[in-house]
Amino acid sequence: MSQAAAHAYDGRGSNSPQWWPSRYGPDDELGAGNELTPERTLAALQLPRDGRKIELAQLLEEGVPAFPPRTWKQLVLAHGALDATKMAPEGSQMTYFEEQATGTYHIGCHVDGIGHVGINGHFYNGHHYKDFYTSKGLTKFGVETMRPWITRGVCLDIAKLVGTERLDEGFVITPEHLEEACRAQGVQIGAGDVVLLHTGWGALWSEDIEHYEHVEPGAGWDAAHWLTDRRVSLVGADNWAFEVIPFERSDGIFVVHQHLLAETGTHILENITTRELAAGGHSEFLFVLTVQKSKGSTGAMASPVAVV
């Protein structure tokens, strides 16, 4: 048993045994990004058969579901289009618009960085926030350390597995569900994979915003460990927090986030739509995602694509 495994986080905050160093070593800052190897990229490039691209991001606009106090506001500036202020009024008469946006990177479809969530002030590899926090950006674990994802993606249709279009709020996805879905869909999960869970909850994104953003079906504690035991590089679901809410334990608030981000350095992709993947029976595909290079940010807006 590795040192990291011997001191696995048990979800009790500071009462847990020490859960660091990580399995990638005490100085590592990439987390599961270490699994994104050139060999796995080359293998994933062989997966597409039709060359069809499926967009996986929910549409971002003002008023979308968001965990309070997250907001998104966009102001389109017209100074470049008005007769009185446009550029080169006597020459080319160039006319333009541009926007100014205010909000958080943790809204809409986005990736949680490993500097986003910690355990009693300690983050990935045990680093305390006082050692890397500044108000203008983190000095460790910023999104600029994320590697691009050009790797194998797998979508497990848990809703279909249990015979429904949409799982109920509070439905706990277990390792047994994951294993049964793998068998039913003829896939296996391996290191470096991106694993997306289809719950059907994403349909509420535009149908019932209030319900969508307060509760959800999602991965339970054991399912999260099943995934990280297989060294996946990224997990996601068609919900807003990946993990089940209400939480499995009343005192286990976002413990799945803690296990994924702080303990194992596994990034989380939130607010995606898996409807087209599930409807088309696309169990595996080429997954492509790059994020903006903003130094010290704790998350990144995302627009992932599956190529089938």
Q: What is the pTM of this model?
A: 0.95
Segment 190-247, tens digit of pLDDT:
999 999 999 999 999 999 999 999 999 999 999 999 999 999 999 999 999 999 999 9
- Residues belonging to the chain: 308
pLDDT of residue 265: 98
Segment 131-169, tens digit of pLDDT:
999 999 999 999 999 999 999 999 999 999 999 999 999
**Tokens at residue 49, please?**
């058969």
Residues 6+ apart with CB under 8 A from 220: 172, 173, 174, 243, 244, 248, 256
Q: 105 — alpha (psi -120 to 50), left (phi > 0) or beta? A: alpha
**Tokens at residue 16, please?**
């847990």
Q: Which domains does the chain have, with CATH numbers?
A: 27-67+106-307 (3.50.30.50), 72-102 (no CATH)
**Tokens at residue 257, please?**
């986030």
In 150-283, alpha helices (H): 158-161, 175-185, 204-207, 209-214, 221-229, 255-257, 275-279
Distances in whole angstroms, Cα of residue 70 to Cα of each of 64, 65, 106, 107, 260: 10, 9, 7, 7, 22
- Are 267 and 32 contacting, i.e. CB atoms less than 8 angstroms apart? yes
Segment 23-77, tens digit of pLDDT:
999 999 999 999 999 999 999 999 999 999 999 999 999 999 999 999 999 999 9
